[in-house]
Amino acid sequence: MRRRASALLAVASLVISIIIGGCGEVEKVAIPVQKYPEKPITVIVPFGMGGSTDLAARSLERNAIKYLGQPLVIMNKPGGAGTIGWNELAGANPDGYTVGIVAVDMLISSLLESSKYNYPTALEPIAQISSSPMVLGVSIDQPWQTLDDLIEYAKKNPGQLKVGNAGIGSIGHVVGEMFGQSANIKIEQVPFSGGSELIGSLLGGHVQLIFITPTAFKEHIKSGKVKILAVSGETRMADPLFASAPTFKEKGLDITLKNWFGIAVPKEMPIKDKDKLAEGLKSMIADPDFKKNMENMGLPVEYLSPQESQDKWLSDSQILSKRLKDTGVLEKVKAQKK
């Protein structure tokens, strides 16, 4: 019995040794944990080249390797007032290698219920980059020197004014409809695919006015080709080029809507990777070189963290929903969408 017990003990010891040894070997050949990011990150810009969101994305691109260790690859996907690009972003693999520029237009599209996704729930914000009012611009060749002049002309010539926008449901379109409703004038909306087309159409005389971000107008104001009649912020702009333009509020019109944009990712991106991307972007946005580029373009940097951005998405959605419903603009834009 003793011999049998000794033999069994010896066998047991051998098995344990093999198991322990095997585990050691498994540890030696274990696949290393991948560190994010390990390859270039694609940035979907849902508008055409040359617009404010495109220029901001390309400014971020300059410092990507410094703060993320990998380059950013800009991919323009214009059309549908941003929905073509945002649909692709929302449907992308949430692995952190496809991110996108988002703007307040995204909230408007969801309120219109005209897109494939409900963007505030299909996407997660990583950072807000900038926030600025929309400006009402006209060609320098037009006779109107003030907003009052324009409104007076529109009342005497109903339906003769054409206003360009970056697509049905874009912020420019919505602000244009708010302008028409608040001023009690009739204007015709003409959609385009982006800022460059808008300005070209304005300078070519195809439309008489446009609502656009200050960035797109800055060089044209310097060259004396366009003039600004009003801005959609709560207060006048600090930039000397725009400081003389009154707010709509000053002129008695209930139009106080700002355009903001930032970076978002598809829902369910791994938290650890998302946090690392957020920290990298925060540093990129705070970089003096980036801030200088944004300032030169007329885009004030207004950074918000992921949580702060999420809170703003919620509050702005509620404000937009109420304002657009109360004014009747929401139903009007929905009808135009169809």
pLDDT-derived band of residue 12, with 50, 70 and 90 as boundaries?
Answer: very low
CA distances from 87 to 195, 213, 268 (A): 21, 23, 16
Could you report the per-residue pLDDT of 123-154, keeping only the tens digit for each?
A: 999 999 999 899 999 999 999 999 999 999 99
The pLDDT value recorded for residue 195 is 67
- Is the domain covering 136-257 a CATH 3.40.190.10 domain? yes
Model confidence at 190: pLDDT above 60? yes
**Sign, Cα dihedral of 197, 58, 283, 236:** negative
**Sign, Cα dihedral of 147, 148, 151, 157:** negative
Q: How far apart are CA 242 and CA 299, in angstroms?
A: 12
Q: Average pLDDT, stretch 52-78?
A: 93
Q: DSSP class of residue 158?
A: T
Could you report the per-residue pLDDT of 260-311, keeping only the tens digit for each?
A: 999 999 999 999 999 999 999 999 999 999 999 998 877 889 999 999 999 9
User: CB neighbours (10 Å) of residue 296?
Assistant: 12
Q: Show me where the domains of the chain are located.
A: 41-133+259-327, 136-257
The long-range contacts involving 274-278, CB below 8 angstroms and separated by at least 24 positions, are: 274/96, 274/124, 274/126, 274/306, 276/36, 277/36, 277/37, 277/68, 277/96, 277/99, 277/126, 278/126, 278/127, 278/305, 278/306
**Share of residues in the chain with pLDDT > 70 (%):** 88
pLDDT-derived band of residue 216, with 50, 70 and 90 as boundaries?
Answer: confident
Question: Do the two domains 41-133+259-327 and 136-257 of this chain adopt the same fold?
Answer: yes
Residue 135 parent element (H or E): strand 135-139
- Is the domain covering 41-133+259-327 a CATH 3.30.70.1070 domain? no
Q: Where are the alpha helices (DSSP H) in the chain?
A: 2-28, 52-61, 64-68, 83-90, 104-112, 119-122, 147-156, 171-183, 195-203, 214-222, 271-286, 288-297, 306-327, 329-337
Model confidence at 24: pLDDT above 70? no
User: CB neighbours (10 Å) of residue 196?
Assistant: 17
Q: How far apart are CA 315 and CA 312, in angstroms?
A: 5
Tokens of 53: 């969101």
